[in-house]
Amino acid sequence: MTNEREPHDQPTTGITAGGDGPHASRPSPLGALYRKEARRLRRRYPGLDDDRRDWIITLSFARAFLDIDADELEHAIREGSTRLARGTAGDLEVYVSRLVQAALATAHHSDMLQERL
């Protein structure tokens, strides 16, 4: 087994909820799962852009972890998203917030539809 890392395994921005800069502490369990899912999607769909990958992961977390709140989800994105390597701090905060709100709303709407069936 090799210990190779893909170049996008970890976000390169200092804007992470897990700490400051490149010497931040280990990611939370949810942040680590986010990174793992991102690696899996990169391998399976090499042409998938970062925004789409973030959407797929965030929505799947919102659906799988029914009691997850927005802060927990935002924390995981900040720790695991490779998209955060681009943009300015303000742009990134808006990106993370909108992504989470859309995923939670979509997951909630899907749950409501399932209950009606």
The residues spanned by each domain of the chain are: 24-116
Check residue 31 and give its pLDDT.
95
Q: What token pair was written down for 21?
A: 């800069």
Tell me the average pLDDT across 2-13.
41
Instruction: Pick 24-116's CATH classification: 2.60.40.10, 1.10.1240.50, 3.40.50.300, 3.90.870.10.
Output: 1.10.1240.50
Q: pLDDT for 38-48, tens place per residue?
A: 999 999 999 99
- Per residue in 62-103, pLDDT (tens digit) is 999 988 999 999 999 999 998 887 776 778 999 999 999 999
**Directed axis angle between helix 89-116 and helix 70-80, to 10°?**
130
